[in-house]
Amino acid sequence: MQNFKNDNMLRYGLLGILTFALAIITSISIACVYWIQQRHIKEAITTTISNTDELFKHELAEEAQMLNVMIDYLQQDKNLTQAWLAGDRDRVFEYASRKFHTINPGRKVTHFYFIEPDKTCFLRVHDPQRYGDKKNLFREVTQLLKIL
């Protein structure tokens, strides 16, 4: 009987040690899986941010190129240039609004300004009733980029 008790105690002791070892191995396995998942998540986020940054720079360059083409197109219009140089707001609006509506569809151009060298807004083609105020487009663009 004594031998049977010793065997049971040995079994229970061994079972306890094995249970404890299994719990440690399971805990270490869970911790490793968690660490690996976190590393993969961080890599995925880093890759997504990098790809988004590259895409944004690419889109910004394309938009800038498109705007440069539009500016060149507008500068080649002799009637528009003459009206602008003469300071004839109505004629500038007449020519520019046609151009604005021609080039605007699908290009998401919402504002079209004519700014004098002293930064006075000569004409807003998108809102012709408002003019004469000072425009600091550099400041406005800088603020917009900070938001983005």
The answer to whether residue 146 sits within a structural domain is yes
pLDDT of residue 54: 92
The answer to whether residue 69 sits within a structural domain is no
Angle at 137 between CA 132 and CA 138, to 5 degrees: 145
> Are 91 and 116 in a shared domain?
yes
Instruction: Count how many domains the chain has.
Output: 2
pTM score, whole prediction? 0.51
Give the number of other Cβ atoms within 10 Å of residue 98's Cβ.
13
The answer to whether residue 46 sits within a structural domain is yes
pLDDT of residue 22: 95
pLDDT of residue 25: 95
Domain boundary (9, 31, 63) is at 63
> Are 103 and 134 in a shared domain?
yes
pLDDT of residue 4: 54
> Are 135 and 99 in a shared domain?
yes
Contacts of 4 (CB under 8 A, 6+ apart): none
Give the domain extent around 146. 77-148
Reported as a single tens digit per residue, the pLDDT across 83-130 is 888 888 888 888 888 877 777 666 677 778 888 888 888 888 888 788
Q: What is the mean pLDDT of residues 126-145?
A: 69
- State the average pLDDT for the chain: 81
**Quick one: pLDDT band at residue 24, thresholds 50, 70, 90?**
very high
pLDDT of residue 26: 95
The answer to whether residue 81 sits within a structural domain is yes
The answer to whether residue 27 sits within a structural domain is yes
The answer to whether residue 39 sits within a structural domain is yes
> Are 83 and 148 in a shared domain?
yes
Domain boundary (38, 63, 88) is at 63
> Are 58 and 116 in a shared domain?
no
| Distance in angstroms (rounded) separating the CA atoms of residues 32 and 5 | 40
**Quick one: pLDDT band at residue 48, thresholds 50, 70, 90?**
very high
pLDDT of residue 11: 73
> Are 141 and 89 in a shared domain?
yes
The answer to whether residue 35 sits within a structural domain is yes
Assign 77 to helix, strand or coil: coil
pLDDT of residue 133: 80
CB 98 within 8 A of CB 87: no
The answer to whether residue 36 sits within a structural domain is yes
* Alpha helix positions (H), the chain: 2-75, 78-86, 89-103, 137-147
Domain boundary (12, 35, 63) is at 63
Q: What is the mean pLDDT of residues 52-56?
A: 92
